[in-house]
Amino acid sequence: DAGVTQSPTHLIKTRGQQVTLRCSPISGHKSVSWYQQVLGQGPQFIFQYYEKEERGRGNFPDRFSARQFPNYSSELNVNALLLGDSALYLCASSPGGQGPQETQYFGPGTRLLVL
């Protein structure tokens, strides 16, 4: 079975631009979460979507937004890019609805560089 897929794998943008990152969950999974991993640090939670509704939001500015589609894929959008947005963006999928013991399965990430 295919795991979580993300596109693109790498991206270079300049300050002030906008970027859209895409994620396809494992087949049958209804929940998608997004994390930001700055170099040398642990991942930080950005959003979780379940059945197309936002279930959780981390401490990120409104420049960050996301959505989930009927096929459970998801997009993360970042506006007005700053140098500090340079990071590895990880998408994770999970079955959904199983509570705190539910395992999240991570994709390979999209590496974003903002110049």
Binding residue (CB under 8 A) for another protein from 15, 56, 61, 113: 56
The Cα 36–Cα 56 span in angstroms is 15
The Cα 112–Cα 109 span in angstroms is 9
Tell me whether residue 17 or residue 27 sits nearer to another protein (CB atom).
Answer: 27
Phi, psi of 61 (to 5 degrees): -70, 170
Binding mask 57-86 for another protein (x = CB under 8 A): -x----------------------------
Q: Closest distance between another protein and the C-beta of residue 60, in Å? A: 12
Structure tokens at 44: 């930080």
Binding residue (CB under 8 A) for another protein from 1, 62, 84, 100: 100
Structure tokens at 53: 């509704």
Structure tokens at 8: 């693109």
Residue for token pair 């040398």? 40
Would you tell me which residues interact with another protein (CB under 8 A)?
Answer: 4, 33, 35, 41-45, 48, 55-56, 58, 90, 92, 94, 98-109
